[in-house]
């Protein structure tokens, strides 16, 4: 995601492909801040390049390879919801996921009528990032995400959804 040459090579590798479903997964957490601690320039660049610029580049590279009425999902995070914000914990990650949600919303406008584009929160998942106390196993999250993606319709384009398909506020 953060390597422009790698993403640039994606377009020609996908030439002639027609994907019914594409899921963009980009996420690094960055510093685990508690308050309004400004990140270092290096942390900011790493998180924003991976979580925001990476998906921007991949959406552009994938656009011509989407089949008619394809489903394009960006794996986001509930932490990117401004409407649900109740903490400043990990504010750089939160800001990056809010920006990634904006990228998805723009993609939904640009690809309107061609693809159903949604941002998806995978749930709180037991991964290195989510930790051992998280609610869902990886298998549970993936099964739920797959079911949600399979049920998407044109009316869902441009929305932010929980793994189980419930709408989340931007």
Give the pLDDT of the chain (170 residues) as one tens digit per residue.
788 888 888 888 888 899 999 999 989 999 999 889 999 999 999 999 999 999 999 999 999 999 999 999 999 999 999 999 999 999 999 999 999 999 999 999 999 999 999 999 999 999 988 889 999 999 999 999 999 999 999 999 999 999 999 999 99
In a domain, 147, yes or no: yes
- For helices 4-13 and 54-62, the axis angle rounded to 10 degrees is 10
In a domain, 129, yes or no: yes
In a domain, 44, yes or no: yes
Predicted pLDDT at 144 = 98
Predicted pLDDT at 165 = 98
Q: How many domains does the chain have?
A: 1
- Residue 45, classed as helix, strand or coil, is helix
Task: Report pLDDT digits (tens) over 70-96.
Answer: 999 999 999 999 999 999 999 999 999
In a domain, 136, yes or no: yes
C-alpha dist (Å) from residue 164 to 35, 82, 112, 127, 148: 31, 20, 23, 18, 6
Predicted pLDDT at 12 = 81
Among candidate residues 51, 67, 59, 49, the one with its CA nearest the CA of residue 3: 49
What is the SS3 assignment for 71-136? EEEEECCHHHCCCCCCCCCCHHHHHHHHHHHHHHHHHHHHCCCCEEEEEEECCCECCCCCCCCCCE
Does the model's pTM come out above 0.85? yes
The separation between the first and the last C-alpha atoms of the chain, rounded to the nearest angstrom, is 23
Predicted pLDDT at 111 = 98
CB neighbourhood size of 16 (10 A): 7
In a domain, 168, yes or no: no
Predicted pLDDT at 47 = 97
- The pair phi, psi for residue 65, each rounded to 5°, is -105, 10
Predicted pLDDT at 7 = 85
> What range does the domain containing 56 cover?
4-11+19-162
Could you give the CA distance from residue 52 to residue 59 in angstroms, rounded to a whole number?
A: 11
In a domain, 84, yes or no: yes
CATH code of the domain covering residue 28:
3.40.50.720
In a domain, 23, yes or no: yes
In a domain, 169, yes or no: no
| Paired tokens of 137 | 């196993």
């Amino acid at each position: 995601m953060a390597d422009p040459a790698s993403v640039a090579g994606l377009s020609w590798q996908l030439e002639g492909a027609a994907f019914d479903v594409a899921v963009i997964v980009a996420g690094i957490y960055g510093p685990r801040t508690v308050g309004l601690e400004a990140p270092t320039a290096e942390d900011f660049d790493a998180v924003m390049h991976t979580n925001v610029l990476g998906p921007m580049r991949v959406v552009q590279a994938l656009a011509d390879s989407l089949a008619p009425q394809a489903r394009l999902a960006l794996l986001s995070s509930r932490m990117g919801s401004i409407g649900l914000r109740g903490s400043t914990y990990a504010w750089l990650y939160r800001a990056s996921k809010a920006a990634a949600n904006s990228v998805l919303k723009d993609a939904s406008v640009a690809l309107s009528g061609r693809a159903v584009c949604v941002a998806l929160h995978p749930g709180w998942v037991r991964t290195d990032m989510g930790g051992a106390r998280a609610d869902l196993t990886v298998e549970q999250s993936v099964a739920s995400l797959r079911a949600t993606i399979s049920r998407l319709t044109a009316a869902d384009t441009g929305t932010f959804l929980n793994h189980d398909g419930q709408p989340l506020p931007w």
